[in-house]
Amino acid sequence: MERSPVSLVALHAPKVPLLSLDTVWFQVAGTLCNLTCHHCFISCGPGNRSHEMMARAEVARYLEEVGDLGVKDLYFTGGEPFLNREILGILEDALRVAPTTVLTNATLIDDRRAGDLAALARATRYSFEVRVSLDGLTPETNDPIRGEGTFRTTIRGAEALHRAGIEPILTVAQTWSDEEDTGLRERFHALLRSLGIARPRVKVLPLFRLGREAGRTRGYEPEERLTREHVVDYDFWNLQCSTSRMVTSRGVFVCPILIDVPAARMGSTLRETLRPFPLAHGACHTCWATGASCRN
């Protein structure tokens, strides 16, 4: 866990209200991952047990609360969700309750597993999205960030999804400058089209200067903090923490980014977290400045 100055800064930080609990995230694979990406803001990897795998029964208990509280949609992430042996059952349970998205590196998705996911998509009236992470257009740009051979295995997984009838959303962390942005987005679209994906979708996320990313580039500077002036006449709906929470094996956290910050744990049940939260972390500044949301 990060030793964060969050509790000191929190005294002076502006608070974000919980306007409506619309989205619930699950850290369904904990911080366990088969990859060790250099920009991972929660430093996931094969040996990281900061957050444990979640059991199907544990998720199911939260899904009851999800129904009671009128949650709109659900997201499952990790770590790598497909390391969780119960993931298909968990997604099946989720899709009975609400529209569902799973975030994966796709390296563990073969034709059989893609077929299982397509069957889930056919069996529900809700949208079932699969988001696939990739950080470069070629092995030369992707693999230095995500690991040797990952470009090839991720593309293979995306192709298997496409063959099964699921059009994945490519999720890319923005490791390039804003000036290069438009051209690169188009090239990621083109990459998907080259795989035969007729309706390419790309989601670009900013980098969060936490975990391994803080070592790769830099951590947050003290001045990268929100003050009350930042949120005068501000529309809090733009911040995902005004409408979502993150469930892990260790309880319910304010958002998917801050699960290694002890002060970001808000309770053991969703109901306990229906209250404001101080925007005291550098990552809060990133969301405010970029307008980023982890949602699709």
Partner 1 sequence: METPAHPDLVIDDPSLEGPLAFVGGPYGNDRALRAVLEDAVQRGASRIFCLGDLGGFGPYPERVLPLLDEFEVITLAGNYDRALSEGSGSCGCGYTHPDDNRFARIAYAYTSRRTSDAERMRFGALPRHIRFLRGGARYLLCHGSPRRVNEFLWESACSDAFLERIAREAAADIVLCSHTGLPWTRVLPSGARFVNVGAVGRPANDGRTQAWYAWLPGSSRDVELVPVPYDHDAVARDMEREGLPPEFANTIRTGWWTTCLEVLPARERARGRF
Q: Which of 3, 112, 199, 218 binds partner 1 (CB under 8 A)?
A: 199
15 binds partner 1 (CB under 8 A): no
Please choose, out of 28-36, 109-117, 118-126, 214-222, the segment that lies near partner 1 by the rule CB under 8 A: 118-126
Query: What is the DSSP code string of 71-94?
Result: --EEEEESS-GGGSTTHHHHHHHH
Distances (CA, A) of 275 to 19, 99, 263, 264: 9, 24, 14, 12
Residue in this structure with the two tokens 């659900």, named with its chain if needed: 74
18 binds partner 1 (CB under 8 A): no
CA angle 262, 266, 271 (to 5 degrees): 160
Q: What is the CA radius of gyration of the chain?
A: 18
201 binds partner 1 (CB under 8 A): yes
Q: Which of 1, 8, 19, 119 binds partner 1 (CB under 8 A)?
A: 19
Q: Which is nearer to partner 1, 130 or 264 (CB)?
A: 130
Instruction: Give the torsion sign (CA, 116, 121, 124, 126).
Output: positive
Q: Which of 6, 29, 98, 102 binds partner 1 (CB under 8 A)?
A: 98
Q: Which of 2, 9, 22, 240 binds partner 1 (CB under 8 A)?
A: 22
> What secondary structure, in 3-state letters, does 189-205 show?
HHHHHHCCCCCCEEEEE
Site string for partner 1, 159-188 (x = CB under 8 A): -------xx-------------xx--x---
Q: Which of 1, 57, 68, 149 binds partner 1 (CB under 8 A)?
A: 68
Residue 162 CB, shortest distance to partner 1, in Å, is 12
Site string for partner 1, 27-66 (x = CB under 8 A): ---------------------------------------x
Sort strands 201-205 and 169-173 into parallel, antiparallel or unpaired.
parallel
126 binds partner 1 (CB under 8 A): yes
234 binds partner 1 (CB under 8 A): no
Three-state secondary-structure class, residue 52: coil
Spatial distance between the Cα atoms of 259 and 256, rounded to a whole number of angstroms? 6
Spatial distance between the Cα atoms of 262 and 66, rounded to a whole number of angstroms? 24
List residues near partner 1 by CB under 8 A: 19-20, 22, 66-73, 97-99, 121, 125-129, 166-167, 181-182, 185, 198-199, 201, 237, 291, 293, 296
